Amino acid sequence: MFPDFGDLLFCLLGVFSSLPLSAQEAPILESRAGVLMDAATGTLLYVKNGDEEIPPASLTKLMTIHIALQEIAAGRAALEEIVPLSRESWAINQPPRSSLMFLAAGQRVSLGELLLGLAIPSGNDAAVAVALRFAPRVEEFVGLMNREAREMGLFQTRFVEPSGISEENITTAREFAYFCREYLRLHPESLKNLHSVREFAYPKVSNVGEAYRNRPGTILQSNHNTLLAEGFEGVDGLKTGYIDEAGYNIALTAERRGTRFIAVILGAPAAYRGDRIRDEDGRRLLTWGFDHFKTLRPELGELPAARIWKGQGDYVPILPGESLVFTAPAERGASLRWETEIVEPLTAPLPAGSPVGELILFDQRGELRRFSLITGETMEAGGGLKQLWDSIQLFFTSWGKKDKPRPPSG
């Protein structure tokens, strides 16, 4: 399960001791819960009530879309395939106050259109149609959703239907941010193809029977993500949601200058214009994130090999033992330089992947970050003469270091 990062920015102080921020500078959200995450690293930058269980409302549809996109990626479905519309999926058979794509009897609709109907107008009818494309009953599709949530490590997230209209669907801001990160990793094309599309028109002439082609009854609906519509810099997804029991929810993502953040806002007041509160919380959280943090991706080139003793060779290649991509304060990271610190002496045999020291990254203000270093290949023990000769050299090397005068302290 995910670590407990606390409810404020200072969950990061152990990593970034130089953060020049105070608790008062962290944004104050009116919504019940909120999370800001660096999409590249998974670092949580802000958490408010991150583990409070709240119905996701139509954010549920992102899991429905995810399962469909997985099936497409596996070659078991295709965007252009025509999906049969059972009576259960028709718009007239959805619960009261449902958001709709306006599916109806006799229509001809592709899986790709259904996914757009989920992403843009947030059609509950589209959710049922997609569920029945991949399972014989909606309940069985919900089983797929819950199994996928468990496999992703989302142990507080659970679903009872695929559209989000039920208050019995449950998630947390923290878990849903992790889900969005995995969703974007697996389906990066979804931002362009689904979540940043501004409008959706349905049904079109191609969707209706011949008798209706002169008057298909096309309805134009706008994306419910108003930050997308207003052109908030970098926003290109993901999804909004509302039911009375949850209030207004939104999962947002935005990218600027190589840094992408994910913001999840849950439980803005279920009152008149509560959606404005939700959207303002999203703006506030993303703006604060871009003002104070960025993703760094150092490009170091090949690291120098490390000296190794008593092996078949004298040097072993070394590699970073972890990703070099990390989240840093916005003012850090100019004029990057680095050095290696090897634990000496290294002696063979030494398997590939053995820890050998640290890579230290510096910027204009001093040390910025340390990364583990490991061997890039296995170094077997050398022959008897090689080991004897290296032992002699090691003895005199260590003796010389021991007797070397120390500079005065202070």
CA distance 176 to 154: 8
For residues 340 and 358, is the Cβ–Cβ distance under 8 A?
yes
Neighbours of 172 (CB within 10 A): 24
In the set 31, 48, 58, 99, the catalytic residue is 58
CA distance 395 to 408: 26
The pair of structure tokens assigned to 74 is 């596996």
Task: Using DSSP, state whether 368 is helix, strand or coil.
Answer: strand
DSSP 67: H
CA distance 316 to 309: 10
In the set 61, 239, 294, 310, the catalytic residue is 61
The pair of structure tokens assigned to 294 is 């960025």
Closest by CA position to 404, among listed 391, 396, 347: 396
58 is catalytic: yes
CA distance 332 to 314: 38
Torsion over CA: 283, 284, 287, 290 (sign): negative
Please list the residues that pair with 170 across neighbouring strands. Answer: 158
CA distance 126 to 33: 28
181 alpha carbon, distance to own chain's centre: 1
- Report H helices in 236-368: 274-292
In the set 31, 89, 99, 122, the catalytic residue is 122
Backbone angles phi, psi at 337, to 5 degrees: -145, 165
263 alpha carbon, distance to own chain's centre: 10
Active site residue ranges? 58, 61, 122
